[in-house]
Structure formats: structure tokens, C-alpha cells
Amino acid sequence: MKVTIIGTGYVWLTHGTCLAELENDVICVDIDINKIEQLKQWIIPIFEPKLSNLVIKNHRAWRLNFSTDVKSAIDVSDIIFIAVGTPPGPDGHADMQYVKQVAQDIWKYINKYTIIVTKSTVPVGTWDMITNIISAGIRYRWMQIDFDVASNPEFLREWTAVDDFKNSDRVVIWCNDENGKAVQMLKRLYSPLKNTEILVTDMYSAELIKYWANSLLAVQVSFINAISRLCEKLWADVNKVAKWLRLDWRIWHKAFLTAWPGFGGSCFPKDVMEFAQTFEDNWIPNGILQATLDINEQQKYAIFIKIKRLLDWNLEWKTVSILWLAFKSNTDDIRYSPSIVVINELLKKNAKIKCYDPKAMNNFKNMYPDLDYCDDMYIAVTDSDCMVVMTDWDEFKQPDWEKIISLMKRKNVVDARNIYDKSVLINMWFNYIGVWI
Ligand code: UGA
């Protein structure tokens, strides 16, 4: 099939590439000329494990192309995925301007029956909006062209996006005619994915499912984070609590029960905000979602308090090493990263910050050009008063502690991901605070 993906953000570039791998002809379109030129030269503008080889393989096979020419892409496509950003607006609602812009492009250039699929995470009711914009535009052109608008929310995670696509447990589809052409074609598109359940549902449910899925996971994360803070007060161990919790078969997938420095990324924070607003707009108390967001902010701030505690409540000119900057490991994405909150608080107190991340430093430099960026973790801890672990990269889980001792000014460690063995560090006379104490 001929497929266009409009928007080449993190998971959507993966989505397009994986569809090409399923032997479809895919064009990934973006208005960012630099990004498209880079992609044509196999320079992947993001860090996503396993993506690069697939891009090269499918581009070489002429199945995957990159373009800024929306018109030509719309011209040749059977299916157009709208995959542009829906960042949070000032009122907490998703900002839909980019989705509207794509809908405008589609009515201008559509010339034959086409299926338009929303892949972006969009609020309930977006189907009507897109349909109305395109219908009105086609009428304005004095033409009669058939089209279908379908919904197909994205469930890929950054870092594991390629494997998530190949092993998707479910694909959710909605279109106004359950047995119509659009649903049949989308089912065909995904049919090579063997262990995937294709769920055809009703319109509003399809749009709601994504928000519910992300919000439920975020609720779990915030709940375990709140428990971690209670554990700290009561001298209990949140990891042991979570371990026992996971033994209960009713606990969904046993995942997202790890207390860490709060959730970040481009999805959970914005989706929970939008979902909370949707509740409010419909006069239903959104307490659980608001609490999820509040706990998340507190959890990030709590890391800063731990640093202060280890540094005798005085951060003036103290050197703090922030190790790993992205919102989670194995990505270069820094959107809503907990490190941002910690660094902002440290800067307010005039602390000196040294930092290191194997992938995310360039993105961070655009935001904070003046921090001391180091080439590796050992340089980052040199002359430091406190080392702060913000993500859980496997490759740094067993550092050379003797070397670290010889480099640091004071032996303080705040481990916001609990990646180090507390007893080992305490035996080496470190002052150590993890998530539970
Ligand atoms: C999330 C969802 O997991 C995907 O299904 C969804 O498609 C995607 O959002 C999206 O809407 O596009 P992602 O943001 O890539 O994926 O990252 P996750 O691995 O889900 O982690 C989200 C945050 O929760 C991270 O900050 C992570 O550190 C945190 N987290 C996760 C915890 O604090 N504790 C956990 O136990 C698990």
C-alpha cells in the first residue's frame, strides 16, 4: 500500500519505517527541511535503538522515502497518517493547531479516495473536526472526492519503539463504517503482525483509549511514588512493597510500579493534563488525575530536597553532578525530564552544575547552554560535592567506585533510580540516599 506519515517525531518515524519494513511504500513528510535532508543521508535526528538499520535498509530498497512536499505525498497515497505533535496548550488542553494545518493541506491536495488516519494523540471529538475541515474544503474546491477519517492511536514507547511495533499486542482502529473499505484496508495494513489483536471499536472509545492507557500508567507511577515517600517516613522499603504487589495476579502487567524521580517524556505529562481537562469540561471531578500530576511534581522536587539534605541545606557554590539528563534511559528525549526541575532548583540556589548524558547532551545544551557539560561520568563527578543519578542506563550500573572516591570532593550520592546497592556504598563511607531513604 502507499502510505504517507505527516510528522516525523520520535515514535512516528519508527511507525513509518516499520510500515515500510512490512513492504508498504512509505513517505515520511515533515516541514523541517534539515530533518528531511538528514534522513535522506541516513542521519537519524533522534536516538532510537534499532531504528537506524531499518531506515537504511528500507530507504535503500526504495520503500521508505522522506520529503517536505506534502502535495505530492498526498497525491500518491492510499492512506495518510496524521502524526504531528499535540503539545499542551496554556489551559492544559492539547494544542491542535498542527493537526488542523494538516487537515487543511489534505483538503487542498486530495484528488482521489483516501483514508486519513489520526495517529497523533488527540482529544475526543477530533474525528468530527478533521472530517468537517476536509469536507468543507473539498466543497470549497467545487469537487466531490470520497474520503474516510479513521482513528488509530499509537502505543509505542520510545527506546523500545521498533520491538513494540513488531510485537504490538493490540492495534485499535475506528472508522464510521465498521465493515467499510477504510477498516478493511487498515486491517490489511497491519495483518502481517502475527500476535496482534486488531480491535475495531467505536469512534469516541478509540479516541479515549489512548488517554486512558497513558493516564492509568501515570496513575500507577504516581501512586507508587507517593508510597515511596510514605516509605521514607516510615522506614519501609518501597521496592519490597512493589515486589509483593507484583505477585498479585490482578495487578495489571506488573509493570509501572517502580518508584523513580517522577514521569516525564512527551506523552504522560501532556496526556494526563489533557485528560484531566476533559473530565473538568464534562463536570466530572478529575481528582485522581490532578493528584497524579501533583504527586509527579512533588516527586521531582523531592530529589532536590535530598540533594540539599546531603549538602547541609546550603547549595551556594557547591558542585552537583547530574548524571543523565533524558526523561528515561536509552533516549535523547528531554521533554518534561525530571532533571529539568532538579537543575532549575539548583540554579536558583547558585549551585554549580556539571552534567553528563551519553545521548541527550545536545538537546539539553539548546535549553541550558551554560552548564558544564562533561565527556564522561568520571569527569562529571570530579571535584563534585554530590553525584545525582537521574536515569538508569545499564552501562553505568557498575562504575569504578574507587576512582569516583578519588575524584569527588565529598562522598554524597542521591540515587533517584535506585540503581546502586545501598549497602555497598555505605560500606565505602558514602552518604547515600535512594528513592526510599
Ligand atoms: C508512553 C507509553 O508507555 C506508550 O505506550 C505510549 O505510546 C507513549 O507514551 C506515547 O503516548 O507516545 P514513553 O513516554 O515512551 O511511552 O515512556 P514510558 O516507558 O512509558 O515511561 C514514561 C515515564 O514513566 C518515564 O519518565 C519513566 O521513567 C516513568 N516510569 C515508568 C516510572 O517512573 N516508573 C515505572 O515503573 C515506569
Q: DSSP character for 149? A: E
Burial class (CB in 10 A: 0-12, 13-18, 19+), 200: middle
Distance CA 320, CA 122 (A): 39
Give pLDDT, residue 437. Answer: 58
pLDDT, tens digit, for every residue of 334-380? 999 999 999 999 999 999 999 999 999 999 999 999 999 999 999 99
> Pocket residues for ligand 1 (CB within 6 Å)?
11, 121, 154-158, 214, 217, 221, 256-258, 260, 263-265, 267-268, 327-328
What 3-state class would DSSP assign to 402?
Answer: helix
Q: What is the pLDDT of residues 129-176, one digit of tens each?
A: 999 999 999 999 999 999 999 999 999 999 999 999 999 988 999 887
Contact between 95 and 86 under an 8 Å Cβ cutoff? The reply is: yes
State the catalytic residues.
267
Instruction: Give pLDDT, residue 298.
Output: 97
Q: What is the pLDDT of residue 217?
A: 95
| pLDDT at position 160 | 95
Cell numbers for 319, please give them. 558542585
Please tell me the distance between residue 214's alpha carbon and the centre of ligand 1 in angstroms. 8
Asked if residue 252 has pLDDT above 90, the reply is no
Residue 280 has pLDDT above 90, yes or no: yes
Average confidence score pLDDT of the chain: 94
Return the ligand 1 atom nearest residue 331 CA.
15
Total-model pTM: 0.94
* Ligand 1 atom closest to the CA of 263, numbered from 1: 26
Torsion of CA 149, 151, 154, 155, to 10 degrees: -160
C-alpha cell at 111: 484528488
CA of 391 to the centre of ligand 1 (A): 13
